[in-house]
Structure formats: structure tokens, C-alpha cells
Amino acid sequence: MGQPFRTDQVVEAPYFADRDEETNKLLRVMRNRERIVLYGERRQGKSSVITRAARRLESEGGVVIMIDAWKVEDLNGINRAILKAVPFGWVKGTRLELLIRAFRGLVGLMPNEEGRPVLGLVGLSAHRDPHPDETLERILEGLNDVAGESKTPVVVVIDEFQNLEKIRTNGGALLRSIVQETGHLSYVFAGSMVGLVMNLIGPKGPFHGIERIEIGEIRADYLATWIQERSKSCGVEWTSDASPFLVAKAGPVTEYILRLAKAVHWIGTQSKGAVMPDTIDQAFAEIVADMDGTFDLIWSKMSNTRRKVLRGIADGEVRLTTDHFLSRYHLGSSSAASRGERELRDDGILAPGKPPRISDPFFAEWIRRQT
Ligand SMILES: Nc1ncnc2c1ncn2[C@@H]1O[C@H](COP(=O)(O)OP(=O)(O)OP(=O)(O)O)[C@@H](O)[C@H]1O
Ligand SMILES: [Mg+2]
């Protein structure tokens, strides 16, 4: 009897729930050489929904070049990642002279870690590229030329695209200008809705005006039913009030809900009766206890101001600049409180938007338990 839930990675069927509307929108963009920015709170399921749409497109013969810019250190890293992600099947099926013409000596075939052929940079730009921005332009233009001669859609997906701003001054504007000149390609950009992404898609940002879609919470009643049915299909019964209770308890973020569901299901496999709200409280408490070391480390590295702000929010305070709040949590000034709040939001510890919410419900509970 398998495990019904997965966490800590991109999920695909049968672990994937809902998001038909978002998937269809992405597919439309991917098929039609359009562009879209996907944004949302961390761990809500952005990468998973992109992967789902990408698999569908591939099953129709489309080509998806997907990179994650999160851990890339410089523009050269982006260039390498894009080339490496070009599917070899597509390269093989493309006329050689077209490829050579498109990339004008910049790119060649080479083995990857598993010995499979992938595209890579050759010559000067392979090592210390003196002009990685020009190289990025030439790569995307090359792909664009090949896509222009092909009936199948070619999609470039840049997950965590806001990182371009971190690795290069005006990296977002550079990318945007190249995107504008490569109209045969479809583009999907994704990022968490924190400071950088908002700057990029805001009224003064280079990505302003591009279609956008928020990956928000999955409808609570849908998810509750889905969780109960998945768990049941793996041999665990639930009382009817249990799964709505679970979703409400974990808060709106998909990954935390799934993490709790996974722990509850496991307890369910170990015990006789059906899963009840009590089982959920037990699983929740176990996760908080399991995470103690991790949370303790995060907490110990945090400034006093941030801790005070978090304590207040964990206690349910919603207005952080009132005199009541400042004196109760011993905060020096309302500007310090606001700054702490903004930094915590930029780091993804607080959810975007108002009122303030600690994104991780287990961390919030852990903070409440600290005296
Ligand atoms: N549609 C879904 N159905 C079921 N579980 C999901 C779904 N989307 C996300 N999850 C759960 O949330 C976790 C995080 O998903 P994913 O990595 O796609 O989110 P993300 O928004 O890209 O996160 P990050 O901000 O960390 O990049 C998954 O491992 C899975 O447990
Ligand atoms: Mg992601």
C-alpha cells in the first residue's frame, strides 16, 4: 500500500491536486508563443503546476526548456543551464545546418554528467565569458531562429526568475529586452511574490504589462476531499470532520497542508480506528517537535527585533505599529517594527499581503511555545 502524499519536491500525478484552470492557462501561453509571469507565496505549488503544463505540452510534441535560477550564481550559469536544458531529441531532429547557423559557433554538443549529449558553450564563452549578457542574447536568439522554422512550440521556463536581479544589475531589464526580440519563443517566468518579483512586475518594472497569474491557495473544500480520498485509497479511513479540520489547521499553503496530511496518514496506518480531529492535533504536535532543531537554529540567528515581531504575529496581533503592540513586545519604534516585518516578508517567513501571517504554521506554533 503506497504513500498517498509527497512533499519537499515538485509533485506530479497522482500526487498532484487541482489547478486545472492554472494548467490550462499555462498551456495556452506555451502553445501560442505568449509570455506569462507566475507568482505566489512560497511552497504554494508554482513549480509543480509549471511542470504539469510542461509535461502536457511535451506529450503534444512541444519543446520545453526549463531552468531554475534559484541557485545560479552568475549570468554565465544561466547561459549554461539554458543550453543544458535543451532536449536532445529536439536538437537531433533539427537540421544541423540550421542549428549551426542559429548558434554561429557559440554552441556545441557535449556529454552531460550521465554521458548523454547536451548543448553547451564552446570556445571563449565556455570558461570565463567576458560578455555573458551578449551570450544570453545569442542563445535565446538562436533558439528563437530554430523555433521560427519549426511548427512545434518552444517554451523557455525560468523558475525563480527574480534571481536575475540578484546576479546582475538590471538583470530583469536585460531579460525583458531579449524576450521582446524573440517572438517565436513562449516564455514562462515564475517567482515568489516578495520584494524583487513585485518590483519586476510592478508599474515601473521591466515585466510590467506581461500577463500574470497568481498561484494562490487551493480551494479548502476541494483539498479536504482530495486528501481524504487519497488517504483512503491507501487504506486509511477518516471521519468526515477530520480533513476540513486538517486544512483549516495547516493554513492556506499547499506544502504545509500536504506535510500534515502525510503525518496524519502515517499515524492512520499505525492505528486501528478512523482518523479524527484529535489525530490531526497529534500529527501537528509531532511535526512541531520534529522541527525543533531546525526552528531553534533559525531563531537563534534572528535579530531581536525580528523575534519580537514574530512573537506578536504568532500571538495573533495584526497591527504592528500601534502603541499597544510596541509596548507589549518591547519594540523601540514603529519604524523598527515595520522594518522587521518587511525583512521577514522578503525572506519568505511572513506571507505576502495583509494581515501579517507566519507562512509556516509549524513554526508559528513553535514560536508560541517558546517562553
Ligand atoms: N497541486 C498540488 N497538489 C498536491 N500537492 C502540491 C501541489 N502543489 C504543491 N504541492 C505540495 O507543495 C510542495 C511544494 O510545491 P512546489 O515546489 O511546486 O511549490 P513552489 O511554489 O514552487 O515552492 P517554492 O516557493 O519553494 O519554489 C510539494 O512538494 C507538494 O507537497
Ligand atoms: Mg518552486
pLDDT digits over 228-244, tens only?
Answer: 999 999 999 999 999 99
Residue 8 CA, ligand 1 centroid: distance in Å: 8
Does residue 311 belong to any structural domain of this protein?
yes
122 against 216, higher pLDDT:
216
Point out the ligand 1 atom lying closest to the alpha carbon of residue 70: 27
Does residue 9 belong to any structural domain of this protein?
no
69 and 198, same domain (yes or no): yes
Tens digits of residue pLDDT in 57-69: 999 999 999 999 9
Residue 43 CA, ligand 2 centroid: distance in Å: 7
* DSSP result, 277-345: HHHHHHHHHHHHHHTHHHHHHHHHTS-HHHHHHHHHHHTT---TTSHHHHHHTT-S-HHHHHHHHHHHH
Ligand 1 pocket member 47 (CB < 6 A): yes
Backbone angles phi, psi at 191, to 5 degrees: -165, 165
Ligand 1 pocket member 38 (CB < 6 A): no
Q: What is the mean pLDDT of residues 102-126?
A: 83
For residue 117, is pLDDT > 90?
no
264 and 161, same domain (yes or no): no
- Here the cell at position 34 is 505568449
* CATH number for 362: 1.10.10
Domain carrying residue 307: 293-369
97 against 185, higher pLDDT:
185
Residue 6 CA, ligand 1 centroid: distance in Å: 9
Residue 351 CA, ligand 2 centroid: distance in Å: 15
Atom 19 of ligand 1, nearest CA residue: 45
Q: What percent of the chain has pLDDT over 70?
A: 99
Last residue of a domain, one of 214, 243, 258: 214
- Specify the amino acid at residue 248: A
- pLDDT for 192: 87
Count of domains observed in the chain: 3
Rounded to two decimals, the pTM is: 0.93
- Specify the amino acid at residue 31: R
Ligand 1 pocket member 262 (CB < 6 A): no
Ligand 1 pocket member 217 (CB < 6 A): no
84 and 194, same domain (yes or no): yes
- pLDDT for 22: 97
281 and 316, same domain (yes or no): no
* CATH number for 266: 1.10.8
Q: How much is the mean pLDDT over the chain?
A: 93
